[in-house]
Every structure is written in structure tokens, then in C-alpha cells.
């Protein structure tokens, strides 16, 4: 791709998706929303996640040789 092509792509992009102007201002204070989010209880871990975790732990306990394979795939 030559410099002219690069310039044309940039020009088309800017025309299609103009830069955000200085008019893009935050319209209201977000502190109440942040406080609400902080006060929200963290979601509980679903029961099937616990089952999966227990199954994985049991599997690794019975087959410790699988631990390096697990780390490899992680």
C-alpha cells in the first residue's frame, strides 16, 4: 500500500467518522452512579461454577500428571 492509498483511507475515515469535537462533554456528574456501583453486592458465584471447580480439583487430585498439561494449555 503506497502513501497515496494510506492518505486516501485516512481521508475517507475522517469524513465518515469525524473526530469528536470539543462539544463532546460529559452531561452530568457520574459520582452517584459510581457510588451505586461500589455499594452493589458482587454477584454470587453460580452453583455450577462451584461444581466445575470441585470437579477440576478432584480431577487434578486423581491425575496430578495432568497439571503440566493444564498449565501448557493456559
Partner 1 sequence: MPVLEQPSDVLRQFCHGDLDAFEALFRGHQREIYGWIVRIVRDPAAAEDLTVETFWRIHRAHARFDPMRSFGAWARRIATNAALDHLKTTRPQADLPNDLSSPTLPDPSISDELRRKIAGAFRRLPPQLQVAATLALIEERPYQEIADALGVSTGAVKVRVFRARRFLRKELKRQGIEL
According to the binding rule CB under 8 A, does residue 17 interact with partner 1? yes
Closest to 56 measured CA to CA, from 33, 31, 73, 36: 73
Q: Which stretch in 1-9, 43-51, 52-60, 65-73 sits in contact with partner 1 by CB under 8 A?
A: 1-9
Report whether 20 contacts 26 (CB < 8 A).
Answer: no
User: Which of 38/61 has CB closer to partner 1?
Assistant: 38
CA angle 13, 14, 15 (to 5 degrees): 90
CB atoms within 10 A of CB 60: 13
User: Which of 14/49 has CB closer to partner 1?
Assistant: 14
Interface residues toward partner 1, by CB under 8 A: 1, 4-6, 8-10, 12-21, 23-27, 29-31, 33-34, 37-38
Amino acid at each position: 500500500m503506497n502513501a497515496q492509498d494510506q492518505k486516501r483511507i485516512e481521508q475517507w475515515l475522517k469524513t465518515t467518522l469525524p473526530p469528536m469535537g470539543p462539544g463532546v462533554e460529559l452531561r452530568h456528574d457520574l459520582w452517584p452512579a459510581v457510588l451505586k456501583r461500589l455499594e452493589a453486592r458482587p454477584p454470587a458465584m453460580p452453583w455450577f461454577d462451584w461444581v466445575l471447580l470441585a470437579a477440576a480439583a478432584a480431577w487434578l487430585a486423581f491425575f496430578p500428571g495432568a497439571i503440566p498439561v493444564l498449565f501448557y494449555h493456559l
